[in-house]
């Protein structure tokens, strides 16, 4: 059962409603996340959560890649945050305040706490990723319990090298990549591929691109057979273990540092731009392509 209640995501249930499939649906921007998409995604996740028939939720993306990250440049994005007819959420939750206070509150609600909410969803979630998963694309993927990738998927967080930022708002990197790998990837802007992600334990399955949807669904069907109580408590046992290891507090501390990093750039720039400027604060990276982190070269060719 599909429905078109949303504009930037799709929501359907299959197998008599036991599996919900949410797809990011802004392929022309490579699923760049703007406010409308994130608000709709939240509604879709909560809809799957409240539906007692749903056991497993799949999150995928239409088009050439899962998600290129936050939308930082489209006309649509600027219109809905600063235009004459702003998105309803752009004038609440700090949106009518100014400076770092405004940014901190808006990012708290629409980048950080929503991601944490999806991570804690009372359903088993599977991220179905392909193409590229960049920066804030990682947040969406990491919020899910399991990750299935298409062959050739590339993962990267380039905000350190390109935006002069210490990572995205939901800083799960050390928990996913490991501590040293996180430092390496963030300090170089290099990427890893699906095979490396599999070796790290971040990705559970790698399927051919043209089989990704069907095989992720098969995987979801297998998991949907587990009694819901057991499935949730498995999820929660792992999540609470991580929370007791410091996951929850670390993410909050790193969110605060992220906002400090934004505040730094706001003070540095006369126009209050909250990230590093291209060619001024960071080298101009336009025209360069993402490089894989290689074991025996300083920088891949
Ligand atoms: Zn930010």
Query: 272 alpha carbon to ligand 1 midpoint, in Å?
Result: 14
245 domain residue, yes or no? yes
Q: CATH number, domain at 174?
A: 3.90.226.10
279 domain residue, yes or no? no
298 domain residue, yes or no? no
Query: 4 alpha carbon to ligand 1 midpoint, in Å?
Result: 30
Tally of structural domains, the chain = 1
294 domain residue, yes or no? no
286 domain residue, yes or no? no
Q: Which domain holds residue 138?
A: 2-268
Quick one: tokens of 167?
A: 């990572």
Query: 136 alpha carbon to ligand 1 midpoint, in Å?
Result: 10
Query: 259 alpha carbon to ligand 1 midpoint, in Å?
Result: 7
Find, among 140, 143, 124, 139, the residue nearest to 234 by Cα.
124
Query: 159 alpha carbon to ligand 1 midpoint, in Å?
Result: 10
Query: 44 alpha carbon to ligand 1 midpoint, in Å?
Result: 23
The sheet with strand 2-3 has its strands ordered as: 2-3, 9-14, 19-24, 56-61, 124-129, 146-150, 205-207
* Local confidence pLDDT in tens for the 301 residues of the chain: 555 689 999 999 999 999 999 999 999 999 999 999 999 999 999 999 999 999 999 999 999 999 999 999 899 999 999 999 999 999 999 999 999 999 999 999 999 999 999 999 999 999 999 999 999 999 999 999 999 999 999 999 999 999 999 999 999 999 999 999 999 999 999 999 999 999 999 999 999 999 999 999 999 999 999 999 999 999 999 999 999 999 999 999 999 999 999 999 999 999 999 999 999 999 999 999 999 999 999 999 9
125 domain residue, yes or no? yes
- Read off the pTM: 0.97
Query: 255 alpha carbon to ligand 1 midpoint, in Å?
Result: 9
273 domain residue, yes or no? no
144 domain residue, yes or no? yes
- Rounded distance between C-alpha atoms, residue 250 and residue 105, angstroms: 18
């Amino acid at each position: 059962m599909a429905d078109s209640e949303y504009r930037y995501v799709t929501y359907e249930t299959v197998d008599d409603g036991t599996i919900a499939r949410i797809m990011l649906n802004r392929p022309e921007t490579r699923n760049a996340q703007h406010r409308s998409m994130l608000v709709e995604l939240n509604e879709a996740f909560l809809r799957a959560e409240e539906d007692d028939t749903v056991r497993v939720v799949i999150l995928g993306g239409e088009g050439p890649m899962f998600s290129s990250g936050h939308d930082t440049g489209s006309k649509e994005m600027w219109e809905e945050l600063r235009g004459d007819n702003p998105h309803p959420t752009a004038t609440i939750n700090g949106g009518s305040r100014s400076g770092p206070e405004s940014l901190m509150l808006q990012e708290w609600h629409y980048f950080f706490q929503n991601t944490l909410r999806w991570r804690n969803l009372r359903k088993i979630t599977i991220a179905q990723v392909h193409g590229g998963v960049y920066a804030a694309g990682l947040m969406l993927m990491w919020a899910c319990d399991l990750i299935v990738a298409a062959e050739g998927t590339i993962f990267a967080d380039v905000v350190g090298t390109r935006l002069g930022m210490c990572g995205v708002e939901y800083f799960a990197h050390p928990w996913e990549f490991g501590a040293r790998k996180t430092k390496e990837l963030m300090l170089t802007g290099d990427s890893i591929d699906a095979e490396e992600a599999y070796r790290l334990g971040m990705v559970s399955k790698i399927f051919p691109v043209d089989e990704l949807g069907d095989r992720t669904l098969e995987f979801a069907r297998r998991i949907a057979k587990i009694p819901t109580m057991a499935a949730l408590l498995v999820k929660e046992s792992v999540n609470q273990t991580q929370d007791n290891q410091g996951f929850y507090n670390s993410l909050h501390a790193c969110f605060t540092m992220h906002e400090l990093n934004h505040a730094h750039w706001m003070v540095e720039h006369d126009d209050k731009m909250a990230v590093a400027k291209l060619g001024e604060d960071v080298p101009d990276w336009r025209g360069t392509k993402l490089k894989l982190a290689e074991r025996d070269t300083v920088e891949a060719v």
